[in-house]
């Protein structure tokens, strides 16, 4: 298996700590929720609010992805009007 630097390890690097590697767990492409948990939640948080465990170590706050649903619904309702 290949080893990659995890995002939480990058957060550690930002705080001048040792970078640890982690085994990547492949996720099926058809499972968006599995992919989100494996690749995105470390920064965006489990609910996508930008409050993941690595968020504090980043220079820019991760996007609050939960706001996108509201924007999409608003855009869709305007298009139908």
Q: Are 50 and 63 in contact (CB under 8 A)?
A: yes
Rounded Cα distance, 80 and 76, in Å: 6
| SS3 category, 21 | strand
For the cut 50, the answer to whether the pLDDT of residue 57 exceeds it is yes
Give CA–CA dist 32/81, Å, rounded.
31
- What pTM does this model have? 0.56
Mean pLDDT of 51-78: 82
The two three-digit tokens of residue 24, written as one number: 């990547």
- What are the pLDDT digits (tens) for 22-51? 676 777 778 888 889 888 998 999 999 999
* 71's tokens: 């924007």
Structure tokens at 34: 């599995």
Q: Given its phi and psi angles, is residue 48 left (phi above 0), alpha (psi -120 to 50 degrees) or beta?
A: left
């Amino acid at each position: 298996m290949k080893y990659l630097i995890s995002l939480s390890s990058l957060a550690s690097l930002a705080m001048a700590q040792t970078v640890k590697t982690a085994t990547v767990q492949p996720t099926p492409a058809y499972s968006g929720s599995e992919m989100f948990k494996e690749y995105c939640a470390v920064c965006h948080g489990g609910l996508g609010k930008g409050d993941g465990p690595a968020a504090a170590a980043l220079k820019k706050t991760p996007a609050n992805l939960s706001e996108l649903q509201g924007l999409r619904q608003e855009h869709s309702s305007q298009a139908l009007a």
